């Protein structure tokens, strides 16, 4: 397997949130907070900076949704983004197995 750079925790959580369903910015902020059990609270600036980079990397894509109050841009995970997220999950799984084995040795 090729070497994969670890994702930052905010990027990991954003991609994880979008793996389930497409979301708009506010819904992403709330879901990231829920996924992290309140540990990670992204500012809007941090969120939209990360979203911009993820769009540029083609890991997510924007699309317009109809909303009764206003048009909102939503984001969805691309195949490339899903592959990157899956690779990081596998990386962490391997690290957890190795750490667990070492802990049992003690």
Whether 25 shows a pLDDT value over 90: the answer reads yes
Q: How far is Cα 34 from Cα 103, in angstroms, rounded to an integer?
A: 29
How much of the chain, in percent, has pLDDT values that exceed 90?
82
Residues 6+ apart with CB under 8 A from 46: 10
Question: What are 37-59's pLDDT values in tens digits?
Answer: 999 999 999 999 999 999 999 99
Segments making up each domain of the chain, as ranges? 9-105
Architecture field, domain 9-105 = Orthogonal Bundle (1.10)
Q: Tell me if 66 sits within 8 A of 22, measured CB to CB.
A: no
Q: How far is Cα 106 from Cα 85, in angstroms, rounded to an integer?
A: 32
Q: Which residue from 62, 58, 50, 55 is spatially nearest to 7, judged by alpha carbons?
A: 50
Supply the pLDDT for residue 5: 83
């Amino acid at each position: 397997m090729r070497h994969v750079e670890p994702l930052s925790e905010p990027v990991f959580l954003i991609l994880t949130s979008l793996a389930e369903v497409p979301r708009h910015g506010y819904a992403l902020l709330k879901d990231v907070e829920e996924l992290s059990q309140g540990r990670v609270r992204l500012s809007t600036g941090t969120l939209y900076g990360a979203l911009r980079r993820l769009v540029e990397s083609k890991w997510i894509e924007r699309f317009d949704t109809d909303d009764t109050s206003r048009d909102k841009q939503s984001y969805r995970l691309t195949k490339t983004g899903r592959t990157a997220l899956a690779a990081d999950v596998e990386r962490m799984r391997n690290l957890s197995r190795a750490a667990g084995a070492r802990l049992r040795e003690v």
